[in-house]
Amino acid sequence: NYTRETFLIANWKMHKTVEEGRAFARELVRRLENVSPKHQLIICPTALSLWAVGQELATSPVMLGAQNLDLGREGALTGALSGYLIREAGARWVIVGHSERRNLFGETDALIGQKVAQAFEAHLRPILCVGESLDDYRSGQTFAVITRQIEAIFPYTNSEVLKSLVVAYEPVWAIGSGEVPEPKQANEVAGLIRQILSKQISDDANTVPVLYGGSVSSNNIHQFLEQAHIDGSLVGGASLQVDEFLKMADIG
Ligand code: PEP
């Protein structure tokens, strides 16, 4: 039996203006006064709002994450944002390999592996997203796809840093669809993820948090959190309202 960190992570995607983001953060901080959340809470606003939202969260236990990073540190890379700049803006976390990045922005397994490495290099903890498509799911390819996506990061990372990885299992067909896998099934995949990681980091894989994400809300989060291999959730749509976010964190 291993103790693992647990998380509730808000992925705002391309939502909220800077002012809206600040208002959410201010309200969240207010509502968390005199409360000690049982999970670590992370807000991932747009890159544009990182600094402002981070300023609001500065005095609270809520942490800040970015939704993506680009390779490199500084240089002639128009439009790009490095891990170094993200860290300087106040974030300590970064989502890497979200299915929207993979599918809509053409990010490959290899690029995602390099991004994970760059995140560590910039002293950001990466939240690596993996998940099978509906076709993969229907054709029984889930385990093969997850294995490929996890193993793709091994060439770029050493086992020392890999211990501080967080993985989010997000079936692509469950994201934003209102459909969720059977919690037992998600649990099985989470267990598999730790098993794959153990090829690289042996027993340390037992302490790597694995989250579930995909159409999670306050109505269904508990059935996932009660699974032995699932250590929290990465939430999109339902993370946009403070009330709902707190409800998912079990804070009334
Ligand atoms: C996500 O995009 O990470 C996600 C889980 O989205 P949603 O909660 O909206 O399905």
15 in active site: no
What the block records as the tokens of 85 is 């700049």
Q: Is the pLDDT of residue 192 over 90?
A: yes
Q: pLDDT of 26-59, one tens digit each? A: 999 999 999 999 999 999 999 999 999 999 999 9
pLDDT at residue 1, as a whole number: 73
Binding residues for substrate, as ranges, are: 11-13, 176, 215, 236-237
Q: Label residues 147-185 b or e (16+ Cβ within 10 Å = b).
A: bebbebbbeebeeebbeebbbbbbbbbbbeeeebbebee
Each domain of the chain, given as residue ranges in start order, spans 7-248
Interface predicted TM-score (ipTM) over 0.85: yes
| Domain at 7-248: CATH code | 3.20.20.70
**With a 6 A CB cut-off, is 11 part of the ligand 1 pocket?**
yes
What's the pLDDT tens digit per position in 199-239? Answer: 999 999 999 999 999 999 999 999 999 999 999 999 999 99
The number of residues making up the chain comes to 252
CA-CA-CA-CA torsion for 17, 20, 26, 31, nearest 10 degrees? -130
Whole-Å CA distances, 250 to 57, 218, 243, 244: 19, 9, 10, 10
Nearest to 196 by CA among 124, 134, 140, 142: 142
Give the Cα separation of 222 and 238 in Å (integer): 14
CA of 232 to the centre of ligand 1 (A): 13
Quote the mean pLDDT of the chain: 97
